[in-house]
Structures are given as C-alpha cells and as structure tokens.
Amino acid sequence: MRVLLLKTSSLGDVIHTLPALTDARTQIPDLQIDWVVEEGFAEIPAWHPAVRRVIPVALRRWRKRPWHYWEEWRDFRQQLRAESYNLVLDAQGLIKSALLSLYCHGTRAGLNRASCREPLAAWCYQKSYAVPWQQHAVQRLRQLFAQAFDYPSPDTEPDYGIANQFNVSHSLHPTLVFLHGTTWQTKHWPVSYWKTLAKLAADAGYLVQLPWGSTEERERAEVIATVDSNVKILPRLDLNGMATTLLQAKMAVGVDTGLAHLAAALNLPTVTLYGSTRPDWTGTYGGESSQTHLQAKFACAPCLNKQCHYHGKHDVFPACYSDLSVERVWMAMQVNL
C-alpha cells in the first residue's frame, strides 16, 4: 500500500506522528510511506522503517522570497505529481498542507472541519475524519491513522519506532543534557536557574552537555557553562548527531522544545518544564516512568501565549517560572538518576 503523508512541521509535531506510523505499519505490513516534511526536519522521517522516501519542502524559506525560489517550487510540485498513491493523508490539518495535497495523485484524506486547526483545510479532502480535541497530539494522530487505514484505535503505549536505528553506547562519564533552547519567549526557564542546576549536577559528578542551534542559544550556553569545567558546550549538531548525544546520556532536562520530544521518542528519562504551555496536550510523551512533567502553578499559567503579558510583581522572567524552582527540578531528577 502506497501512501503520501503530509506532516511538514514543527519538530515536535513531526515526532508526534511517529507512533501512528508504527501502528499503521503493524496493521499493514506492506505499507510504504512517502513523507512530505520541512527540509529542516527531513532527517527524522528517514529513521522510521515504514518510510520509503522523504520529500523535503521549504515553505518557510520559499514564502520569504517566492519568486527567487520559483524553480525549487516547480521541482517540488513535479515530485508530488510523479507518482500515484492509494491515499494522500494530510496529518497537519492546516490550509498550507491541505493545498499541497491538491497537487498529488490519490484519494485525499484528513481531519474534518471540527477537528482541524484550520477548518477550511477540510474542504480539500475527499475523505475526512472526526478526532476529538482535549487529548494529547500523539493520541489524536493515532486515532486519525486508525480511521484512515481502517483498524481499531490502539490503546498501547506509543512506539516511535526509531530508537533502534542508532548504534550507540552510554558515555563512560554519566552525562546529562540540558535542553535550554526554545523559540517562545514564555517557554524559557531563567538562565540563573540553569546555572544553579548545572552547578548542582556538576558537583554531584555529572557531565552536563549544552546543545545549541542559534547564536542566541550559543550565547546562553556560554553563560551557563561558566559555573563549572564539567559543563560543556556541544558543537552545533544536526538531528542525527543530537539523537546520538541523547542516547548516550543518562537523562535530559528541558523546556517545552522539539528536542525534548526527541528525547522522549528515544525513551530517554526526561524532566520537562512547562510555564505557558500544557503537557496534557503537547507535552513529551512516552513511557510513564521515563517522562516527568513539571507544570508551573501560577495565576495565568498556562497562558498559551508566545509573549508574556503578566504585569504583576515578579522576581524572574517569565514570572510563572517562579513556581518552578531549581530545588523542585533537582528533586524531580533524582527519580531517574
């Protein structure tokens, strides 16, 4: 069975799709998936054994200078039209992904109007499915795939299907990875807290590794690393390198960021911090014993806003993280250390 899957971004959303893909491959052993995904995340689908071909798309880049990238856009459309599929499944539920499905040969399917993030997207589908809100994104995707491929919705723990794709061993020195980088202003745990936590971990005998993916994140890592010689800044890594680093670690601590979802997909024990966002909808998702969610208990949390609008008295920024102290995080880490 040949299927074209549209799930382009973001990093966390792409990772959240993997368990549904594992479910479908278990039910349909001859399933072959071609996956359309943003170019920056193209490494991830290639890790899954059900994926035959990855088709990178660069909508984020193309929309900034559409005429400059006209030839790339033309070549991409030709790739979409080159083959026929039993099903073209839009798992994104956005207008941009639904419009991409119109270029493809095959029965178009996706969420119905009540289930899409952008209801107009559903007009592009020939088959649409109802998937209830108020549940985690991983479960919503597993239910969508179950309906699209006509098998009972599974109630098993999610299997991301990628952990065995890497041949790695644990580091001789017990290592922790601190995932401090994120795009939302309201997701950043204060740098002073990261420094104190890094010092606690180094004093306890752990090597702390700090990844980064932008100039701002590199500068933050440099500040955190000043507390101890056992707090190391990693070189800039691609996603394959990041996955290998996580698999060699004993634990990760992170804010609500795509790399924390990658850690969960690799079944690495992870403590994840939530201020403005909700772990019950989009938090790290894996084995119950491996994932610890710490939610700030604050008057306006979770606000689900990218910018903090709190104007009351506060000692740290964002203010909601005053409830997520270093001591609370360190105590949560002890369960898996």
What is the DSSP code (8-state) at residue 275? S
**Percentage of the chain lying above the pLDDT 90 cut:** 77
Cross-strand pairs, 294: 273
Res. 289 pLDDT band, cuts 50 70 90: low
Question: How far is the C-alpha of 196 from the C-alpha of 213, rounded, in Å?
Answer: 22
Cross-strand pairs, 224: none
Ordered alpha helix ranges (H), the chain: 11-27, 43-46, 59-62, 70-81, 95-101, 137-149, 191-203, 215-224, 239-247, 258-265, 279-282, 326-333
Q: Could you tell me the domains of the chain?
A: 2-163 (3.40.50.2000), 166-333 (3.40.50.2000)
Q: Name residues whose C-beta falls within 8 Å of residue 314's C-beta, 6 or more positions apart in sequence.
A: 322
Q: Is the pLDDT of residue 199 over 80?
A: yes
Q: Is the CB of residue 272 less than 8 Å from the CB of residue 291? A: yes
267-290: burial string, b at 16+ Cβ within 10 Å, e else = bbbbbbbbbbbebeebbbbbeeeb
Q: Is the pLDDT of residue 314 over 70?
A: yes
Mean pLDDT of all residues belonging to the chain: 93
Q: Is the pLDDT of residue 235 over 70?
A: yes
Res. 221 pLDDT band, cuts 50 70 90: very high
pLDDT tens digits, 91-149: 999 999 999 999 999 999 999 999 999 999 999 999 999 999 999 999 999 999 999 99
- What value does the mean pLDDT take over residues 244-270? 95
Q: Give the global pTM.
A: 0.92
- What value does the mean pLDDT take over residues 219-223? 97
What is the reported pLDDT for 251? 96
- What value does the mean pLDDT take over residues 225-250? 96
Res. 304 pLDDT band, cuts 50 70 90: confident
Q: Is the pLDDT of residue 311 over 90?
A: no
What is the reported pLDDT for 313? 78
SS3 322: helix
- What value does the mean pLDDT take over residues 44-66? 93
- What value does the mean pLDDT take over residues 64-72? 87
Backbone torsion region of residue 150, taken as left when φ is above 0, otherwise alpha when ψ lies between -120 and 50, otherwise beta = left
What is the reported pLDDT for 287? 67
pLDDT tens digits, 171-190: 678 999 999 999 888 889 99
Q: Is the pLDDT of residue 233 over 90?
A: yes
What is the reported pLDDT for 299? 77
